[in-house]
Structure 1
Amino acid sequence: MTTPTRRSTAAELIADFVSTGGSLTDRADLARFLREHRLATEGAIPITLADLDEAIALRDGIRAVLERGSDPDHEAIARGQRVLDGLRVTVRLQPVPDTGVQLAPAVVDEVRRGLARIAGAWASVLATGEWRHLRL
Structure 2
Amino acid sequence: MTTPTKKSGAAALIHTFISTGDSLSDRADLARFLREQRLATEGAIPITLADLDEAIALRDGLRAQLSHAAGGPGDPEAVARAQRVLDGLRVTVRLVPGEAALSPLAPAVVDEVRRGLARIAGAWAAVLATGEWRQITPG
Q: Fold-level match, TM-score > 0.5?
A: yes
Q: How many residue pairs were aligned?
A: 136
Alpha-carbon offset, residue 8 of structure 1: 0.1
1:22 correspondence with 2:22 = yes
Paired letter, 2:36: E
Paired letter, 1:104: A
Alpha-carbon offset, residue 64 of structure 1: 0.4
Q: 1:96 and 1:60 mapped to 2: Cα distance?
A: 31
Q: 1:34 and 1:131 mapped to 2: Cα distance?
A: 21
Q: 1:103 and 1:97 mapped to 2: Cα distance?
A: 10
Residue 117 of structure 1: aligned partner: 119
SS in 2 for 1:40: coil
SS in 1 for 2:118: helix
Q: 2:102 and 2:48 mapped to 1: Cα distance?
A: 31
Alpha-carbon offset, residue 93 of structure 1: 1.2
SS in 1 for 2:63: helix
Residue 101 of structure 1: aligned partner: 103
Q: Residues 43-102 of structure 1, C-alpha deviation per residue, up to 9 Å, x if partnerless? A: 100000000000000000000011023541000000000000000000111224583511
Q: 2:62 and 2:136 mapped to 1: Cα distance?
A: 11
TM-score normalised according to structure 1 size:
0.95
SS in 1 for 2:97: coil
Contact 2:94 2:100 in 1 (8 A): no
Task: Go from structure 1 to structure 2 and tell me whether the alpha carbon gap of 1:132 and 1:100 turns closer, same or farther (over 3 Å shift).
Answer: same
Paired letter, 1:50: A
Paired letter, 1:99: A
Extract unaligned runs of 5+ from structure 2. none
1:85 pairs with one of 78, 84, 87: 87
Q: 2:102 and 2:116 mapped to 1: Cα distance?
A: 17
Q: Could you list the runs of 4 or more consecutive aligned residues of structure 1 that deviate by over 6 angstroms after TM superposition? A: none
Q: 1:13 and 1:31 mapped to 2: Cα distance?
A: 15
Contact 1:58 1:83 in 2 (8 A): yes
After superposing the two structures, state which structure 1 stretch, 44-53 or 60-69, moved more. Answer: 60-69
* Identical residues among aligned pairs (%): 76
Q: 2:72 and 2:51 mapped to 1: Cα distance?
A: 31
Q: 1:97 and 1:15 mapped to 2: Cα distance?
A: 22
Alpha-carbon offset, residue 4 of structure 1: 1.4
Residue 37 of structure 2: aligned partner: 37
